Amino acid sequence: MGSSNPVTDQERERVRELHAEGKGRNEIAEILGRGGRTISQIAKSLGLSFSRAAEVRQATEIRSADLAARRAAFAVKLQDIAETEAAKINAPHTYWDWGGKEHDFDTHDAPEPTPGDKRAYMSLVATAVDRSLKLSPPKEEGGADEVGSLLVGLFDKLRAKHGDH
């Protein structure tokens, strides 16, 4: 606010209006043909601030909450996958083969998956549950240690029942 070009009351009022519209310091300076420092001084004299810390903080909190909700939703999807795949461990299984001299395609049904396939299902289930728990840990249900020991017990029983070959 040098003496060569004093700030008018009209400019002060215009700064107040533009600030109320949400315009930033540099945008106001461009509109009024003034320097950013001059606009900052006018704003300060009017009790205005261009600080956006509160807006940034609120936007960050909203984004964090959105991400937490997305992680929780994805944890549910992983749990659904674990349950679907766990059901296949003792279910009839269709095997297929493509090959031979004529490149024939053939299928055959088995009453249940082979021990190796059961092991693969158990590994998939364990991974899905583990990732689900990491994305959305249980609250006050005894904690992850209790859930982990329940899973270990479940998989030990499955291995004992079906053999770990």
Domain boundaries, the chain: 9-50, 61-162
pLDDT tens digit string along 109-134?
999 999 999 999 999 999 999 999 99
Nearest to 162 by CA among 127, 118, 110: 118
Asked whether the predicted pLDDT for residue 1 surpasses 50, the reply is no
Q: Which CATH class is domain 9-50?
A: mainly alpha
pTM for the model: 0.51
What mean pLDDT is predicted for residues 126-153?
Answer: 76
